[in-house]
Amino acid sequence: MKNSPFKALLLLVMLWLPISAHAEKYILIFGDSLSAGYGVDISESWAHLLQQKIASQGFRIINASISGETSLGGRERIAKLLRQYHPSVVILELGANDGLRGYRIEDTEANLDAMLQDIRDAQAHALLIGMRLPPNYGASYTEKFQGMYARLAKKHRVKLLPFLLDGVKENQFQADNLHPSADAQPHIMENVLQSLRPLLR
């Protein structure tokens, strides 16, 4: 029995299982409605389009974005997802809802800072995605809000996409003027992909 074919096969399976379980590399998208595909068919969302674009490179996207998510909500749930998926890359797209609700920028920055530290501790790369607020929130608040992302990227030495919706045209938004339409999703995907590419090597 010591050198039986059954025992050899069992040993081979035991050796193979841990490798196959981690053979696929995960990219975790962690954002709000802009990444969850609010108002568009999932197959048209930028996250789905990105999955199609990079599937041949052995990456699988886990989209854990939730419409209405705040930085505090993200901070409270990111650790579990990092433990569950052990992602190679995390695309962090949060803060917009904080800004639209007029939350203290210091609190939002602290929450994003904690999440970026969690990502680093999990030995994953981070792509931080910034947002901009409408001008009616006042120059002081909007400038501090936008600068928050650059400060965090510099502190944690992570890749930054300054504005997710850069280049999206006025007629490519839904009726609420906040969420991009299906027509804008391929452009948004290209924005993300351009910043993501260096992290896929």
Over residues 159-170, the mean pLDDT reads 98
Mapped onto helix, strand or coil, the DSSP state of residue 13 is helix
Q: What is the pLDDT of residue 53?
A: 96
pLDDT > 80? residue 8? no
Query: Rounded CA gap, 162 and 7, in Å?
Result: 56
Over residues 178-189, the mean pLDDT reads 98
pLDDT > 70? residue 89? yes
DSSP bridge partners of 90:
28, 126
Instruction: Using alpha carbons, list the distances in angstroms from residue 133 to 30, 124, 151, 179, 180.
Output: 20, 29, 17, 13, 15
Q: What is the pLDDT of residue 201?
A: 82
CATH of domain 26-200: 3.40.50.1110
Instruction: Using alpha carbons, list the distances in angstroms from residue 136 to 64, 99, 103, 125.
Output: 30, 12, 15, 35
Q: Say if residues 36 and 67 touch (Cβ distance below 8 Å).
A: yes
pLDDT per position as a tens digit, 143-164: 999 999 999 999 999 999 999 9
Mapped onto helix, strand or coil, the DSSP state of residue 39 is coil
Q: What is the mean pLDDT of the chain?
A: 91
How many other CB atoms are found less than 10 A from the CB of residue 73?
Answer: 16
pLDDT > 60? residue 70? yes
Element (DSSP H or E) covering residue 35: helix 33-36
Identity at 26, one-letter amino acid code: Y
pLDDT > 70? residue 35? yes
Catalytic residues: 33, 176, 179
Q: How confident is the model at residue 23 (pLDDT cuts 50, 70, 90)?
A: low
pLDDT > 50? residue 41? yes
Query: Rounded CA gap, 142 and 135, in Å?
Result: 7
Q: What is the pLDDT of residue 107?
A: 98
Q: How confident is the model at residue 34 (pLDDT cuts 50, 70, 90)?
A: very high
DSSP string, 112-125: HHHHHHHHHHTT-E
Mapped onto helix, strand or coil, the DSSP state of residue 26 is strand
Query: Rounded CA gap, 35 and 32, in Å?
Result: 6
> What percent of the chain shows pLDDT beyond 90?
88
More confident residue, 22 or 77: 77
Q: What is the pLDDT of residue 21?
A: 40
Phi first, then psi: what are they for 7, rounded to 5°? -65, -35
Query: Rounded CA gap, 30 and 165, in Å?
Result: 16
pLDDT > 80? residue 133? yes
Instruction: Using alpha carbons, list the distances in angstroms from residue 141 to 69, 101, 104, 138.
Output: 20, 12, 9, 6
Please state the domain extents for the chain: 26-200
